[in-house]
Chain A
Amino acid sequence: MSERRWNPVLREWTITATHRQDRTFLPPREYCPLCPTRPGGMETEIPRPTYEVAVFDNRFPSLRADPEPPAVEGTDVTPVEPSFGACEVVVYTPEHEATMGSIPLARVRRLIEVWAHRTLVLGAREEVHYVFVFENRGEAIGVTLNHPHGQIYAYPTIPPVLARETVSAAAYLEAENACLFCELLAQETADGRRIVAETAGWVAGVPFFARWPYEVHLTPRRHIGWLHELDDGEVDDLARLLVTVVRKYDALFGFTLPYIMAVHQRPTDGGDHDGYHLHFEFYPPNRTETKLKFLAGSEAGAGAFINDTLPEETGHRLRELEPRDPAAVAG
Protein backbone atom coordinates (compact mmCIF):
# COMPACT_ATOMS: atom_id res chain seq x y z
CA MET A 1 0.00 0.00 0.00
CA SER A 2 1.41 3.36 -1.00
CA GLU A 3 0.01 6.88 -1.00
CA ARG A 4 1.03 10.49 -0.45
CA ARG A 5 -0.27 12.36 2.59
CA TRP A 6 -0.06 16.15 2.72
CA ASN A 7 1.55 17.73 5.76
CA PRO A 8 0.03 21.24 5.86
CA VAL A 9 2.33 22.26 8.71
CA LEU A 10 5.57 21.66 6.84
CA ARG A 11 3.86 22.01 3.46
CA GLU A 12 5.28 18.77 2.13
CA TRP A 13 4.13 15.30 1.17
CA THR A 14 4.89 12.16 3.17
CA ILE A 15 4.89 8.93 1.15
CA THR A 16 3.62 5.81 2.87
CA ALA A 17 4.87 2.53 1.40
CA THR A 18 3.98 -0.25 3.81
CA HIS A 19 4.89 -3.04 1.38
CA ARG A 20 8.53 -1.99 1.61
CA GLN A 21 8.66 -3.54 5.08
CA ASP A 22 8.90 -6.90 3.30
CA ARG A 23 11.72 -6.05 0.88
CA THR A 24 14.78 -8.23 0.57
CA PHE A 25 17.20 -7.52 3.41
CA LEU A 26 20.92 -8.17 3.08
CA PRO A 27 20.70 -11.59 1.40
CA PRO A 28 23.82 -13.79 1.30
CA ARG A 29 25.91 -13.28 -1.79
CA GLU A 30 24.65 -16.41 -3.55
CA TYR A 31 21.12 -14.98 -3.38
CA CYS A 32 22.05 -11.49 -4.57
CA PRO A 33 19.21 -10.35 -6.86
CA LEU A 34 21.46 -7.89 -8.70
CA CYS A 35 24.12 -10.36 -9.84
CA PRO A 36 23.88 -11.88 -13.31
CA THR A 37 21.85 -15.07 -13.52
CA ARG A 38 24.34 -17.90 -13.31
CA PRO A 39 23.80 -21.10 -15.24
CA GLY A 40 21.86 -23.41 -12.97
CA GLY A 41 21.43 -20.71 -10.33
CA MET A 42 18.34 -18.83 -9.27
CA GLU A 43 17.01 -16.27 -11.70
CA THR A 44 17.98 -12.83 -10.48
CA GLU A 45 16.48 -9.48 -11.47
CA ILE A 46 18.73 -9.64 -14.54
CA PRO A 47 18.21 -12.96 -16.37
CA ARG A 48 21.44 -12.75 -18.37
CA PRO A 49 24.86 -14.34 -17.83
CA THR A 50 26.36 -10.85 -17.79
CA TYR A 51 25.43 -7.25 -18.53
CA GLU A 52 26.93 -3.76 -18.64
CA VAL A 53 24.45 -1.42 -16.95
CA ALA A 54 20.95 -2.64 -16.08
CA VAL A 55 17.92 -0.66 -14.95
CA PHE A 56 14.68 -2.19 -13.72
CA ASP A 57 11.47 -1.18 -12.01
CA ASN A 58 11.83 -1.57 -8.25
CA ARG A 59 9.91 -4.59 -7.00
CA PHE A 60 8.96 -2.59 -3.90
CA PRO A 61 8.26 0.88 -5.31
CA SER A 62 7.21 3.89 -3.27
CA LEU A 63 5.96 5.54 -6.48
CA ARG A 64 4.53 3.87 -9.57
CA ALA A 65 2.79 4.63 -12.86
CA ASP A 66 -0.37 2.80 -11.79
CA PRO A 67 -0.64 3.29 -8.03
CA GLU A 68 -3.31 1.67 -5.92
CA PRO A 69 -6.06 3.89 -4.51
CA PRO A 70 -5.07 5.43 -1.16
CA ALA A 71 -5.85 3.41 1.97
CA VAL A 72 -7.55 6.36 3.65
CA GLU A 73 -9.56 9.36 2.54
CA GLY A 74 -8.02 12.77 2.86
CA THR A 75 -9.62 15.98 4.06
CA ASP A 76 -9.41 19.56 2.86
CA VAL A 77 -6.65 20.15 5.40
CA THR A 78 -4.81 16.88 4.86
CA PRO A 79 -5.37 15.69 1.29
CA VAL A 80 -4.27 12.21 0.23
CA GLU A 81 -3.10 11.43 -3.29
CA PRO A 82 -2.10 8.24 -5.11
CA SER A 83 1.65 7.72 -5.35
CA PHE A 84 2.17 8.44 -9.03
CA GLY A 85 5.71 8.30 -10.33
CA ALA A 86 8.40 5.65 -10.71
CA CYS A 87 11.13 3.92 -8.74
CA GLU A 88 13.95 2.34 -10.70
CA VAL A 89 17.07 0.46 -9.67
CA VAL A 90 20.30 1.13 -11.59
CA VAL A 91 22.85 -1.71 -11.37
CA TYR A 92 26.33 -0.37 -12.03
CA THR A 93 28.19 -3.57 -12.84
CA PRO A 94 27.84 -7.35 -12.73
CA GLU A 95 30.70 -7.44 -10.21
CA HIS A 96 29.22 -8.00 -6.77
CA GLU A 97 32.24 -6.71 -4.87
CA ALA A 98 32.88 -3.59 -6.96
CA THR A 99 32.30 0.01 -5.91
CA MET A 100 32.12 3.33 -7.71
CA GLY A 101 35.78 3.69 -6.84
CA SER A 102 36.88 0.38 -8.32
CA ILE A 103 34.92 0.04 -11.54
CA PRO A 104 36.69 1.21 -14.73
CA LEU A 105 36.41 4.86 -15.72
CA ALA A 106 34.74 3.86 -18.99
CA ARG A 107 32.01 2.13 -17.04
CA VAL A 108 31.47 5.16 -14.79
CA ARG A 109 31.13 7.28 -17.91
CA ARG A 110 28.49 4.87 -19.21
CA LEU A 111 26.70 5.02 -15.92
CA ILE A 112 26.48 8.80 -16.33
CA GLU A 113 25.02 8.25 -19.80
CA VAL A 114 22.38 5.96 -18.32
CA TRP A 115 21.52 8.44 -15.55
CA ALA A 116 21.10 11.12 -18.23
CA HIS A 117 18.95 8.91 -20.41
CA ARG A 118 16.70 7.77 -17.58
CA THR A 119 16.24 11.43 -16.57
CA LEU A 120 15.09 12.23 -20.10
CA VAL A 121 12.77 9.22 -20.30
CA LEU A 122 11.17 9.66 -16.89
CA GLY A 123 11.20 13.46 -17.00
CA ALA A 124 9.22 13.42 -20.25
CA ARG A 125 6.28 11.80 -18.44
CA GLU A 126 3.63 14.40 -17.73
CA GLU A 127 3.06 13.31 -14.13
CA VAL A 128 6.77 13.43 -13.28
CA HIS A 129 7.95 16.78 -11.95
CA TYR A 130 11.30 15.73 -10.59
CA VAL A 131 13.77 12.92 -11.44
CA PHE A 132 16.06 12.16 -8.53
CA VAL A 133 19.13 10.00 -9.14
CA PHE A 134 20.83 8.78 -5.98
CA GLU A 135 22.95 6.09 -4.39
CA ASN A 136 22.87 4.76 -0.85
CA ARG A 137 26.08 2.93 -0.01
CA GLY A 138 26.84 0.97 3.13
CA GLU A 139 24.79 -0.68 5.83
CA ALA A 140 25.21 2.41 8.02
CA ILE A 141 23.06 4.22 5.48
CA GLY A 142 20.50 1.43 5.51
CA VAL A 143 21.17 -0.34 2.23
CA THR A 144 19.49 -3.72 1.95
CA LEU A 145 21.65 -5.02 -0.91
CA ASN A 146 25.42 -4.67 -1.08
CA HIS A 147 25.80 -5.16 -4.85
CA PRO A 148 26.82 -1.77 -6.33
CA HIS A 149 23.69 0.00 -7.43
CA GLY A 150 21.81 3.25 -7.23
CA GLN A 151 18.21 4.27 -7.55
CA ILE A 152 16.04 6.75 -9.39
CA TYR A 153 12.84 8.18 -7.96
CA ALA A 154 10.53 10.06 -10.32
CA TYR A 155 8.34 12.26 -8.13
CA PRO A 156 4.99 13.87 -9.01
CA THR A 157 6.08 17.03 -7.17
CA ILE A 158 9.40 18.77 -6.60
CA PRO A 159 10.75 17.29 -3.32
CA PRO A 160 11.25 19.75 -0.43
CA VAL A 161 15.04 20.12 -0.57
CA LEU A 162 15.01 20.62 -4.32
CA ALA A 163 12.09 23.01 -4.02
CA ARG A 164 14.03 25.15 -1.53
CA GLU A 165 17.10 25.09 -3.76
CA THR A 166 15.17 26.07 -6.89
CA VAL A 167 13.40 28.90 -5.04
CA SER A 168 16.75 30.17 -3.74
CA ALA A 169 18.29 29.98 -7.21
CA ALA A 170 15.35 31.82 -8.78
CA ALA A 171 15.42 34.52 -6.12
CA TYR A 172 19.17 35.05 -6.57
CA LEU A 173 18.81 35.21 -10.33
CA GLU A 174 16.03 37.77 -9.96
CA ALA A 175 17.95 39.90 -7.47
CA GLU A 176 21.48 39.65 -8.86
CA ASN A 177 20.99 38.56 -12.46
CA ALA A 178 23.45 35.75 -11.75
CA CYS A 179 23.47 32.05 -10.88
CA LEU A 180 23.77 31.42 -7.15
CA PHE A 181 25.73 28.21 -7.74
CA CYS A 182 28.15 29.91 -10.15
CA GLU A 183 28.74 32.58 -7.50
CA LEU A 184 29.38 29.96 -4.82
CA LEU A 185 31.73 28.10 -7.16
CA ALA A 186 33.68 31.29 -7.88
CA GLN A 187 33.94 32.00 -4.16
CA GLU A 188 35.14 28.49 -3.38
CA THR A 189 37.76 28.30 -6.13
CA ALA A 190 39.07 31.75 -5.20
CA ASP A 191 39.37 30.75 -1.56
CA GLY A 192 40.69 27.26 -2.21
CA ARG A 193 40.68 25.98 1.38
CA ARG A 194 37.70 23.66 0.93
CA ILE A 195 38.51 22.41 -2.58
CA VAL A 196 39.01 18.64 -2.70
CA ALA A 197 39.83 18.10 -6.41
CA GLU A 198 39.36 19.87 -9.74
CA THR A 199 39.22 19.09 -13.43
CA ALA A 200 38.78 21.37 -16.43
CA GLY A 201 35.03 20.97 -16.28
CA TRP A 202 34.15 20.17 -12.65
CA VAL A 203 35.08 21.16 -9.09
CA ALA A 204 34.71 19.03 -5.95
CA GLY A 205 34.77 20.61 -2.53
CA VAL A 206 33.41 20.59 0.99
CA PRO A 207 30.78 23.34 0.97
CA PHE A 208 31.29 26.40 3.16
CA PHE A 209 28.05 25.49 4.97
CA ALA A 210 28.56 21.70 5.08
CA ARG A 211 26.04 19.85 7.24
CA TRP A 212 28.08 16.62 7.33
CA PRO A 213 31.79 16.41 8.32
CA TYR A 214 32.95 14.97 5.01
CA GLU A 215 30.17 16.29 2.78
CA VAL A 216 31.42 16.99 -0.75
CA HIS A 217 29.66 18.72 -3.64
CA LEU A 218 30.67 18.25 -7.29
CA THR A 219 29.73 21.20 -9.49
CA PRO A 220 30.24 21.72 -13.23
CA ARG A 221 31.95 25.00 -14.07
CA ARG A 222 29.48 25.57 -16.91
CA HIS A 223 25.98 26.68 -16.00
CA ILE A 224 23.80 23.75 -17.02
CA GLY A 225 20.79 22.12 -15.43
CA TRP A 226 20.70 18.49 -16.48
CA LEU A 227 23.13 15.63 -17.02
CA HIS A 228 22.23 15.26 -20.68
CA GLU A 229 23.53 18.79 -21.31
CA LEU A 230 27.09 17.78 -20.44
CA ASP A 231 29.52 17.64 -23.36
CA ASP A 232 31.93 14.75 -23.91
CA GLY A 233 34.78 16.37 -22.01
CA GLU A 234 32.54 17.22 -19.07
CA VAL A 235 31.29 13.65 -18.90
CA ASP A 236 34.85 12.34 -18.84
CA ASP A 237 35.74 14.88 -16.16
CA LEU A 238 32.74 13.93 -14.06
CA ALA A 239 33.65 10.24 -14.28
CA ARG A 240 37.19 11.02 -13.14
CA LEU A 241 36.01 13.24 -10.33
CA LEU A 242 33.44 10.72 -9.07
CA VAL A 243 36.11 8.02 -8.95
CA THR A 244 38.57 10.44 -7.32
CA VAL A 245 36.16 11.47 -4.57
CA VAL A 246 35.04 7.90 -3.82
CA ARG A 247 38.64 6.64 -3.71
CA LYS A 248 39.52 9.47 -1.34
CA TYR A 249 36.57 8.49 0.83
CA ASP A 250 37.75 4.89 0.89
CA ALA A 251 41.25 6.04 1.85
CA LEU A 252 39.95 8.31 4.63
CA PHE A 253 39.54 5.66 7.34
CA GLY A 254 40.81 2.61 5.47
CA PHE A 255 37.43 1.05 4.76
CA THR A 256 34.66 1.45 2.20
CA LEU A 257 33.05 4.62 3.49
CA PRO A 258 29.23 4.63 3.58
CA TYR A 259 27.62 7.58 1.84
CA ILE A 260 24.52 9.00 0.22
CA MET A 261 25.09 10.43 -3.26
CA ALA A 262 22.39 12.81 -4.48
CA VAL A 263 22.24 14.18 -8.03
CA HIS A 264 20.55 17.56 -8.09
CA GLN A 265 19.21 18.44 -11.53
CA ARG A 266 16.56 20.92 -12.64
CA PRO A 267 12.93 19.90 -12.15
CA THR A 268 11.03 18.46 -15.10
CA ASP A 269 7.75 20.22 -14.36
CA GLY A 270 8.06 22.62 -17.29
CA GLY A 271 8.57 25.58 -14.96
CA ASP A 272 11.19 28.30 -15.19
CA HIS A 273 14.31 26.93 -13.54
CA ASP A 274 17.00 28.69 -15.58
CA GLY A 275 18.78 29.75 -12.41
CA TYR A 276 19.29 26.19 -11.19
CA HIS A 277 22.66 24.54 -11.64
CA LEU A 278 23.36 20.79 -11.86
CA HIS A 279 25.51 19.35 -9.08
CA PHE A 280 26.20 16.19 -7.08
CA GLU A 281 26.15 16.02 -3.27
CA PHE A 282 27.82 13.31 -1.15
CA TYR A 283 26.94 12.86 2.53
CA PRO A 284 29.03 10.25 4.38
CA PRO A 285 27.64 9.66 7.90
CA ASN A 286 31.03 9.13 9.56
CA ARG A 287 32.52 11.93 11.64
CA THR A 288 35.42 9.69 12.73
CA GLU A 289 36.58 6.17 11.92
CA THR A 290 34.26 4.73 14.55
CA LYS A 291 31.65 7.41 15.18
CA LEU A 292 28.64 8.32 13.06
CA LYS A 293 26.86 11.63 12.79
CA PHE A 294 23.24 11.04 13.80
CA LEU A 295 20.32 13.27 12.96
CA ALA A 296 19.37 13.92 16.58
CA GLY A 297 17.40 16.59 18.40
CA SER A 298 18.56 19.73 16.65
CA GLU A 299 18.69 18.18 13.18
CA ALA A 300 15.58 15.98 13.29
CA GLY A 301 13.49 18.08 15.64
CA ALA A 302 14.43 21.58 14.57
CA GLY A 303 16.00 21.15 11.14
CA ALA A 304 19.17 22.87 12.34
CA PHE A 305 22.31 20.90 11.46
CA ILE A 306 25.30 21.02 13.76
CA ASN A 307 28.58 20.04 12.13
CA ASP A 308 31.22 18.77 14.54
CA THR A 309 34.06 19.69 12.17
CA LEU A 310 35.41 22.67 10.26
CA PRO A 311 34.88 22.41 6.48
CA GLU A 312 38.33 23.98 5.97
CA GLU A 313 39.93 21.11 7.90
CA THR A 314 37.92 18.28 6.35
CA GLY A 315 38.42 19.80 2.90
CA HIS A 316 42.18 19.91 3.49
CA ARG A 317 42.20 16.33 4.77
CA LEU A 318 40.30 15.02 1.74
CA ARG A 319 42.44 17.06 -0.67
CA GLU A 320 45.65 15.53 0.69
CA LEU A 321 44.42 11.95 0.30
CA GLU A 322 45.18 9.91 -2.81
CA PRO A 323 44.29 10.18 -5.58
CA ARG A 324 45.22 13.86 -5.63
CA ASP A 325 45.00 14.43 -9.37
CA PRO A 326 41.81 13.30 -11.15
CA ALA A 327 43.63 13.47 -14.48
CA ALA A 328 46.01 10.76 -13.28
CA VAL A 329 43.30 8.39 -12.08
CA ALA A 330 43.85 5.03 -13.70
CA GLY A 331 40.87 3.45 -15.37
Chain B
Amino acid sequence: MSDEIGAGQPFGEFQLETVTKADGRLLHLYTWPVPADTGVPVRDAEPRAGGGDPAAGPDAEEQPGV
Protein backbone atom coordinates (compact mmCIF):
# COMPACT_ATOMS: atom_id res chain seq x y z
CA MET B 1 0.00 0.00 0.00
CA SER B 2 1.29 3.48 -0.67
CA ASP B 3 0.56 6.79 0.97
CA GLU B 4 -0.32 9.46 -1.55
CA ILE B 5 0.27 12.98 -0.35
CA GLY B 6 -2.40 14.33 -2.68
CA ALA B 7 -5.11 12.21 -1.08
CA GLY B 8 -6.08 14.93 1.37
CA GLN B 9 -6.98 18.58 1.13
CA PRO B 10 -5.66 21.36 3.31
CA PHE B 11 -7.87 22.95 5.90
CA GLY B 12 -8.32 26.67 6.05
CA GLU B 13 -9.87 29.36 3.93
CA PHE B 14 -6.81 31.13 2.67
CA GLN B 15 -6.42 32.86 -0.64
CA LEU B 16 -3.15 32.51 -2.49
CA GLU B 17 -1.53 35.04 -4.78
CA THR B 18 1.64 33.95 -6.54
CA VAL B 19 4.00 36.55 -7.95
CA THR B 20 7.03 35.87 -10.16
CA LYS B 21 9.93 38.03 -9.04
CA ALA B 22 12.31 39.74 -11.46
CA ASP B 23 14.86 36.94 -11.08
CA GLY B 24 12.27 34.24 -11.74
CA ARG B 25 11.75 33.17 -8.14
CA LEU B 26 8.20 32.75 -6.89
CA LEU B 27 6.58 34.65 -4.04
CA HIS B 28 3.40 33.20 -2.53
CA LEU B 29 1.24 35.58 -0.50
CA TYR B 30 -1.33 33.92 1.73
CA THR B 31 -4.29 35.96 2.90
CA TRP B 32 -7.53 35.20 4.76
CA PRO B 33 -10.93 36.87 4.61
CA VAL B 34 -10.43 38.29 8.10
CA PRO B 35 -6.99 39.46 9.26
CA ALA B 36 -5.49 37.42 12.11
CA ASP B 37 -4.76 40.60 14.00
CA THR B 38 -4.77 44.29 13.44
CA GLY B 39 -1.57 43.93 11.45
CA VAL B 40 1.41 46.09 11.58
CA PRO B 41 1.15 49.70 10.63
CA VAL B 42 3.24 50.43 7.61
CA ARG B 43 6.21 52.20 9.03
CA ASP B 44 7.44 55.30 7.40
CA ALA B 45 10.68 54.91 5.58
CA GLU B 46 13.40 55.01 8.19
CA PRO B 47 16.76 56.59 7.56
CA ARG B 48 19.42 54.08 6.68
CA ALA B 49 22.35 53.48 8.95
CA GLY B 50 24.99 56.02 8.10
CA GLY B 51 22.50 58.43 6.59
CA GLY B 52 22.47 56.97 3.10
CA ASP B 53 19.83 57.64 0.51
CA PRO B 54 16.81 55.42 1.24
CA ALA B 55 16.07 55.17 -2.47
CA ALA B 56 19.56 54.18 -3.46
CA GLY B 57 19.04 50.43 -3.06
CA PRO B 58 21.19 47.99 -1.17
CA ASP B 59 24.75 47.11 -1.93
CA ALA B 60 25.41 43.69 -3.39
CA GLU B 61 26.18 42.13 -0.03
CA GLU B 62 22.97 43.62 1.36
CA GLN B 63 20.66 41.98 -1.15
CA PRO B 64 17.90 39.98 0.47
CA GLY B 65 18.47 36.31 0.98
CA VAL B 66 18.36 33.58 3.59
Contacts and interface: CB of A to CB of B under 8 A. Distances in A.
Interface residues of A, number: 71
A41 B54 contact: yes
A41 B35 CA distance: 25
Given A38-B44, A274-B3, A120 B58 contact: no
A46 interface: yes
Contact of B32 (A38, A52, A93): A52
Contacts of A59: 23, 25, 63-66
B31 A27 contact: no
Interface in A109-139: 109-110, 113-114, 116-117, 119-120, 123-124
Given A33-B65, A39-B44, A95-B40, A46 B8 contact: no
A33 B2 CA distance: 41
Interface in B1-56: 1-6, 8-12, 14, 16, 19, 21, 23, 25-32, 35-37, 39-40, 42-49, 54-55
A106 to B, nearest CB: 4
A270 interface: yes
Nearest to B15: A52
B65 A23 contact: yes
Contacts of A51: 29, 31
Nearest to A125: B5
A228 B10 contact: yes
Nearest to A118: B28
B66 A60 contact: yes
B54 A55 contact: no
A110 B66 contact: no
Contacts of B65: 23-24, 33, 58-60
A55 B10 CA distance: 16
A24 B62 contact: yes
B32 A274 contact: no
Nearest to B58: A42
A31 B62 contact: yes
21 contacts: A28-B49, A34-B64, A36-B40, A41-B45, A42-B57, A47-B19, A52-B29, A59-B64, A94-B40, A104-B36, A107-B36, A107-B37, A110-B14, A110-B30, A114-B14, A117-B30, A120-B6, A144-B66, A145-B66, A225-B3, A231-B11
Which A-B residue pairs are the 3 nearest by beta carbons? A33-B64, A40-B45, A113-B12
Interface of B: 1-6, 8-12, 14, 16, 19, 21, 23, 25-32, 35-37, 39-40, 42-49, 54-55, 57-58, 61-66
Given A52-B36, A54-B30, A58-B65, 10 more contacts: A22-B61, A28-B49, A31-B49, A34-B66, A45-B27, A46-B27, A117-B14, A232-B11, A270-B4, A274-B1
